[in-house]
Structure 1
Amino acid sequence: MKLYLLLLGAEAPGRVVEQHDYFFGIAESLAALVPDVKAFWPEAGGSLHIDGWREVTRVDDYSVSIVSADDAIPASTHKLFFLNLGGYTSGKLEEQHYTVLTVQPDRLKAVQAAKKSLFFKTNSLKGIATAHIDEKYGVDVDSVHQIDDLIPPAIKAQYRILFGDGTGLPEDEIHLGYFKLDKIK
């Protein structure tokens, strides 16, 4: 089994801009995730598509793999976190976003790691608007997601995430484009 991170897109009725969200899933293949993706965002209907995806095999200096929930290998003291940072650029009427995946022992360390990103340091307007962890006006640990909490319960009951030494592993390949769900093989 593999851990996937997908950037989903859809045209919501009554909106002028395509909407996006992130989806984490565990499956043998990208195609096997399609039913879970549709269940995750049912109101998107036929406009739901994938704008990008990644098989998560390396984060920071850790390898990332999926094992059976009842595997005898001890659970890690570290967890995989997803953060969605928001920030601003002077003269642009938009909010830029930057996502961070990090392996840390707790939420506080995950926030500290995200605040070290170049995005966080450069997407603040002094005295006006600071870069923030999205859905909050300042850094707040409530907006940090532990990946285990984002996996559907039925899948989480069967599998867990395992970390190992990822030193020397290549970066995960990012697949970008417009991927229609019915065309994914």
Structure 2
Amino acid sequence: MMESLKLFMVLLGCKPAGRHTEQHDIFFAIGDSLADLKPAMTGFWPEANGKIHIDAWREVNVVDGYQLKIVPAAADAGMREHRLFFINLGGYKKGEFEEQHYKMLVVARNLAEATRMAKNTAFYKHTGFEGAVAHIDDKYGVDVDDVFEIEDVLPANVRQRFSLQLRADSDAPDDEIKLGYIPLSKV
């Protein structure tokens, strides 16, 4: 059973009551399938009153040449050299009435290294101008070794049961990112 568990990264969308535009948030959880996560997704965003849809999702198997494996939390009690981080970059383009976002997963030794990697992206360097500079909106480490870094990312019951292990594998194929509107009822 442990072999079939995967880390999922899901872009959830909804239009909560009283809002004029659709809102989005990123949801991370561990499960056998996307369908298994439906109750957790609904619980993650209670203001949506169950009217959530998925705009994008990914089984996170490979990041930056590292394979990810889900293991029991106790199996990964020691220090690890690399960690998996989620970073949400924000920036602006002149004349566009919008804050642009670029969401990324990176493997780094620590938050400072992950932040440096984010600041080296084309998005960070080319989205923004004087008075409206590119910035890192949110920094979360997807790593149960350092609970404080992922407290807002993985549900508490998942953090207590599972850990993420990273193993260098430069030949591993990139993950497929699945895009498109999917009502939660169709998952």
TM-score (norm 2): 0.89
Q: Distance in 2 between matches of 1:11 and 1:91?
A: 26
The one-letter code matched in structure 2 to 1:172 is: D
**Of 145, 149, 157, which aligns to 2:160?**
157
Give the match's secondary structure for 2:89.
strand
Return 5+ residue gaps in structure 2 as ranges: 144-149
Q: Cα deviation per residue 1:59-116 (whole Å; 9 max; x = unaligned)?
A: 1121111111122785522211111101111111111100111111111111000001
CA distance change for structure 1 residues 43 and 21 in 2, over 3 Å: closer, same or farther?
A: same
After TM superposition, the structure 1 stretch with the greater mean CA deviation from structure 2, 49-58 or 60-69, is: 60-69
TM-score (norm 1): 0.90
Query: Which residue of structure 2 lines up, in the alignment, with residue 48 of structure 1?
Result: 52
**Percent same amino acid at aligned positions?**
43
CA distance change for structure 1 residues 133 and 147 in 2, over 3 Å: closer, same or farther?
A: same
The one-letter code matched in structure 1 to 2:134 is: A
Q: Distance in 2 between matches of 1:153 and 1:20?
A: 21
Q: Distance in 2 between matches of 1:9 and 1:37?
A: 11
Query: Which residue of structure 2 lines up, in the alignment, with residue 12 of structure 1?
Result: 16
Query: Which residue of structure 2 lines up, in the alignment, with residue 176 of structure 1?
Result: 179
Query: Which residue of structure 2 lines up, in the alignment, with residue 139 of structure 1?
Result: none
How many equivalent residue pairs? 175
Q: Distance in 1 between matches of 2:131 and 2:76?
A: 52
Give the match's secondary structure for 1:144.
strand
Q: Distance in 1 between matches of 2:22 and 2:142?
A: 25
Give the match's secondary structure for 1:14.
coil
Considering only aligned residues, what root-mean-square deviation do their CA atoms show, in Å?
A: 1.4
Give the match's secondary structure for 2:49.
helix
Query: Which residue of structure 2 lines up, in the alignment, with residue 92 of structure 1?
Result: 96
Moved over 3 A (4+): 72-75
